[in-house]
Amino acid sequence: MSAPTRAAIGWGTDRTAHPAKRPLRLTRRGRIVRMVALIALAWVAVGLLAATASHAERDAGPLPTAVVQKHDTLWDIAARYRPSDDPFAMVEEIRALNDLPGYTIHPGQELRLPRGR
């Protein structure tokens, strides 16, 4: 009688079960998470494109300027430059563009103005 071989005993053979490859199936929760992630990614992309476009517009040449006349106020300049816009918002934009700590301006002073919309 001959001795059993390794193959007959099972030594040296790969006995790990390989599961059949199945396509990935997402649960309802997984589909919702995927959709929310895609929407968030789209919002980020739109935001980046909008920011890039606004920088390109802002860098398109020198800003318009106005020279302060006697008895002018920031409010007067804002109303004269863009009468259809909110003067308060314009005043704040003018202050920010010119690094003005307060609301005092002097005749002859040249102020940078925001670009038209």
Please give the Cα distance from 97 to 52 (Å, whole number). 20
Please tell me the pTM assigned to this model: 0.48
Q: What is the pLDDT of residue 22?
A: 81
pLDDT at 3: 64
- At 65, is the pLDDT very low, low, confident or very high (cuts 50, 70, 90)? very high
Q: Which distant-in-sequence residues (6+ apart) come within 8 Å of 103 by Cβ?
A: 73, 74, 91, 95
At residue 112, the 3 state secondary structure works out as strand
Estimate the crossing angle of helix 87-97 against helix 74-81, to 10 degrees. 110
The predicted-structure confidence for 30-61, as pLDDT tens digits, reads as follows 999 999 999 999 999 999 988 877 666 656 67
